[in-house]
Structure 1
Amino acid sequence: MSAAPTVLVVDDEARLRELVRGYLEQAGFQVTLADNGLRALELARRQPPDLVVLDLMLPGIDGLEVCRQLRSFSDAYVLMLTARAEEIDRVIGLEVGADDYLTKPFSPRELVARVRAILRRPRTSPTGEPAAPPTLRFGPLTIDHARHEARLAGAPLALTSLEYDLLAALAAHPGRAFTRAQLLDRVWGDDYFGDDHVVDVHIANLRKKLGDDPAQPQFIATVRGVGYRFVEPQ
């Protein structure tokens, strides 16, 4: 039997930490707790988690900085918690590498459902479709499924797992236009609870890392009124 997924819960509110831990352990997860960002990074290095539930407002270094540093050495999923509903907080959280966000106050059951949904997210190729070739090449861009890695002009791209999956999903069908809903289905999973705005944020992140100009795209083109497509090789 495979080990239960591990979740690192980072929040400075002891009552909330314990509440979330109780619900996650009841759902079958192994849980580690941290009350500040430095402790969270220390634990993540020592005992790599599968997913991090990360509060935005932390003493010392905040959740955004924790997420930035975490992304330098960990591929764990990140579910960001924010007490503020402003869109800018959510967007910034996603831009630094968070996979999803949840606004306080929230139902602990919804948090557990989000954690399950993130961990069940399909990887690269959806079920029922032919497996993609182990390596795809598009000019200077190489997508290596065996290594779960993308390279640009020979240099590895620092992509999160979600960014890699999004790129791979688009590149598997060059020229095909995908709606945001279709990309959510393929990359986030059909039980994703959030809105489709996350697709735009992660596409923007991908473009930055690829050095892709939306006005003259080499890799990812916007299809007005529809969504996005991977540019067909010439």
Structure 2
Amino acid sequence: MSTVSESARVAVIIEDDVDVQTLLDEVFRAAGFETVLAGSAPEGIAAVVAHRPVITTLDVNLPGMDGFEAARRIREVSTTFIIMLSALSEEPDVVLGLSAGADDYLVKPVRPRELRARIEAVMRRPRFEAPPVPGSPSGGATMPSPAAGLQTHRDLSLDPDTHTVLVGGGEVELTPTEFDLLATLLDSGRRVRSKAELALVLRGDTVGGVSDYVGEPDKRTVEAHMTNLRRKLGDTPADPRFIETVRGVGYRLTSADLPTG
């Protein structure tokens, strides 16, 4: 496991294929990162704890422990952005990866230009401090959430300063992507946000920008993240408490009044 300077922008690469690992290393270094390479899930999880990376890439097909379980364990100790890499391209595989805690899912073979675009998109998003891990060094400065101040809806509250979400007084653990989606919807109120708009939010882009094209895979990724977000909030599309689907358009908050009876 390589060492990095305290002020470095760090990426942890968890990949057992040496050729793929080398390619990822080159792309991240070209993007200005210092990298920590790991060939197994336990080694990678230890690297995340030790180095507190901005981004972690995670291969699905790892020896001993697969990437899905590794993502779940990383989520217990870090808010690093996870880009999952896999040869599995079917929708259930993508949903499983995002459900495990990944923020993005990239199908192999990895194309360097696409990976670089994903990295740049991640770096345009707000960066929140990872939760403290016993024995780990403190992190650096963070960027504020685009929605400043406590946001509430019914018995749900989101605090961008502490990166916490409460439902009925109990804390809900969300990935950085789920947190960003929820913050955007809370900030929008009853205004409907389309899947394309939400995809751009997650990429750090805006409508009318130089890279505002949104394809069907981007929209399906938003759908998968929204499914996971609703599940964690105890919400359902059939009987929504917080987020409702506007068929053929997108998503918005429910009315502010709690249901009675």
**TM norm. shorter chain > 0.5:** yes
Q: What's the counterpart of residue 6 of structure 1?
A: 10
* Equivalences for residues 48-197 of structure 1 within 5 A: 48-122=52-126, 132=147, 134-190=149-205, 191=211, 194-197=217-220
What TM-score, normalized to structure 1?
Answer: 0.90
Contact 1:122–1:187, Cα closer than 8 Å, also in 2? no
Within 2, Cα distance between the matches of 1:173 and 1:113?
27
How many residue pairs get matched?
A: 227
Within 1, Cα distance between the matches of 2:162 and 2:191?
25
Within 2, Cα distance between the matches of 1:111 and 1:186?
18
Q: CA RMSD in A?
A: 2.0
1:229 deviates by 0.5
What TM-score, normalized to structure 2?
Answer: 0.81
Instruction: Tell me the alpha carbon deviations over residues 27-69 of structure 1, each in whole angstroms, 9 at most, x when there is no partner.
Output: 2111000001011011111111111111110001010010011
1:189 deviates by 2.2
Q: Structure 1 runs of 4+ off > 6 angstroms? A: none
Within 1, Cα distance between the matches of 2:226 and 2:87?
26
Please say if 1:231 is aligned against 2:254. yes
Within 2, Cα distance between the matches of 1:227 and 1:23?
34
Pick aligned residue for 1:207 from 209, 230, 233: 230
The DSSP-based 3-state class of the residue aligned with 2:218 is coil
For 1:39, the aligned partner's letter is: E
For 1:111, the aligned partner's letter is: L
Instruction: Tell me the alpha carbon deviations over residues 123-181 of structure 1, each in whole angstroms, 9 at most, x when there is no partner.
Output: 79xxxxxx745112222211112212111111111011111110010011221111101
1:4 deviates by 4.2
Within 1, Cα distance between the matches of 2:168 and 2:226?
20
Within 2, Cα distance between the matches of 1:174 and 1:70?
32
Contact 2:103–2:176, Cα closer than 8 Å, also in 1? no
Q: What's the counterpart of residue 127 of structure 1?
A: none
Identity of aligned residues (%): 39
Instruction: Tell me the alpha carbon deviations over residues 78-113 of structure 1, each in whole angstroms, 9 at most, x when there is no partner.
Output: 111101222221111011111111111122232122
Within 1, Cα distance between the matches of 2:243 and 2:183?
11
The DSSP-based 3-state class of the residue aligned with 1:67 is helix
The DSSP-based 3-state class of the residue aligned with 1:15 is helix
Instruction: Tell me the alpha carbon deviations over residues 193-218 of structure 1, each in whole angstroms, 9 at most, x when there is no partner.
Output: 75211111111111111111211211
For 1:52, the aligned partner's letter is: T
Pick aligned residue for 1:45 from 31, 35, 49: 49
For 2:188, the aligned partner's letter is: H
Contact 2:147–2:184, Cα closer than 8 Å, also in 1? no
Within 2, Cα distance between the matches of 1:187 and 1:217?
23
Unaligned runs of 5+ in 1: 125-130
